[in-house]
Amino acid sequence: MNEKQIQQVVAEVLKRLLPHAGADGKRGTLIVVFSGATAGFTEALQQIRSFVLRGYSVELVFSRGAEHLYARHVWQELEGFPNVNPLDDSKWLRTVKDASAIVVPMLSVNTLSKLSFLVADNLAGNVILHGLFMGKPVVLARNGVDPSDAGRIEPHFPGASTVLAKAIEERLQVVSNYGCKVADVSQLLASLEAALQPAKTLTIRKQVNGTKTRAIERKSSIITAADVLQAHHLGTQLLLRNSAVVTPLARELAIKHGVVLEEVSR
């Protein structure tokens, strides 16, 4: 039996055994986007395996650069893991609508820069940006854009100035403000599951002459434009509990209408 045949046997064994170990894809679909970075590649693959083993179904998207650099190797490394499929280009918008979250384990400077300016000129960018527009959790690994990351393969950034490093941090902050969760590639699963925790409580309170007259509570981990408009109508502030995600449109309307978004920990 040659090496290729052995790999095929191993893949078939994995396909049969892993669903019995919890890898049944029933926890929801994750869209995993590779955008051409190289740092943290080995850990990125391990995180995807962890997603599958935790019961998620995974659909992979590659930018043109990522497709050229390592798409073939990614598929080889994930062979045998069930519920891992390519995203259907013709149905990508529907898939984003139905997905539980978007994860970007290999974020390039190019994609980060475009995202920070709300530019989506390819499938990978469209998936990420529309995920944000729909209020989906979007988790980004920062390793691919960090000049000092030890896992970088190429290109190396030994001459990156402090100005360049600051520009990258500013762009990361911008996308964080949009609602992205930025984490180390080794923490993607933990960050994802934190973002997918059962809905937190959002309390809207209105006071008249210093006396609380009304309290509205509902379950939500995402603050939408509708929440902001409701608070504006009531003339009150929004209390955000446990780091609820605020959609870009909700934040814009809050500024426009003077609605205070106050984060409280409890």
Domain ranges for the chain, please list them.
3-195, 201-264
The answer to whether the predicted template modeling score (pTM) of the entire model surpasses 0.75 is no
- The residue length of the chain stands at 266
The answer to whether 141 and 184 have CB atoms below 8 angstroms apart is: yes
**Tens digits of residue pLDDT in 84-115:** 999 999 999 999 999 999 999 999 999 999 99
Topology, domain 3-195: Rossmann fold (3.40.50)
**Tens digits of residue pLDDT in 187-239:** 999 999 888 875 444 444 444 444 443 434 445 667 777 777 777 777 777 77
The answer to whether 48 and 105 have CB atoms below 8 angstroms apart is: yes
The pLDDT of residue 214: 41
b/e per residue, 191-209, with b = 16+ CB within 10 A?
bbbebbeeebebebbeeee
